């Protein structure tokens, strides 16, 4: 089977992540590519190059929507929620905006999902404030 990466979408994806998490592709490749060849490029191409890079919504709004969806899906998405909260902050979202969208997901994912999301966000915010500048 040959590599079917769309280089244009991959380039768009790399441009998006250069804004919110420049080391993401390398981290994904280090973790997954030896097990699933091209995993990192595929994720960057598909998620970031085909969805996040689209016109119609700015990156901050897309990241807030992602945080909302991951919160509503529940606790099993904790690691992805954390990284996307970081991405949302890098895209310009405020802590308050993120806490509010996570809390609102109690209506759609239930209070346990919102509590898990709030715990993830609060822990991340506290870690960021405690980190040396």
The range of the structural domain enclosing residue 125 comes to: 58-133
Alpha carbon distance 119, 102 (integer Å): 10
pLDDT of residue 67: 98
The arithmetic mean of pLDDT across residues 16-42, rounded, is 97
Query: Could you tell me the pTM of the whole model?
Result: 0.90
pLDDT in tens, 74-112: 989 999 999 999 999 999 999 999 999 999 999 999 999
For residue 83, what is the domain's CATH number? 1.20.1290.10
pLDDT of residue 5: 64
- Residues 44 and 74 grouped into a single domain: no
- Residues 79 and 121 grouped into a single domain: yes
pLDDT of residue 30: 98
pLDDT in tens, 37-82: 999 999 999 999 999 999 999 999 999 999 999 999 998 999 999 9
- Residues 32 and 10 grouped into a single domain: yes
């Amino acid at each position: 089977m040959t590599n079917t990466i769309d280089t244009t979408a991959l380039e768009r994806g790399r441009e998006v992540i250069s804004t919110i998490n420049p080391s993401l592709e390398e981290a994904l490749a280090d973790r997954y590519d030896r097990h699933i060849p091209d995993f990192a490029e595929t994720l960057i191409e598909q998620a970031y190059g085909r969805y996040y890079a689209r016109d119609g919504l700015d990156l901050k709004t897309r990241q807030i929507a992602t945080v909302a969806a991951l919160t509503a899906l529940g606790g099993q998405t904790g690691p992805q929620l954390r990284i996307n909260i970081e991405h949302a902050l890098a895209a310009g979202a405020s802590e308050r905006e993120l806490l509010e969208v996570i809390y609102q997901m109690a209506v759609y994912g239930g209070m346990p999902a919102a509590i898990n999301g709030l715990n993830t966000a609060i822990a991340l915010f506290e870690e960021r404030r405690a980190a040396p500048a």
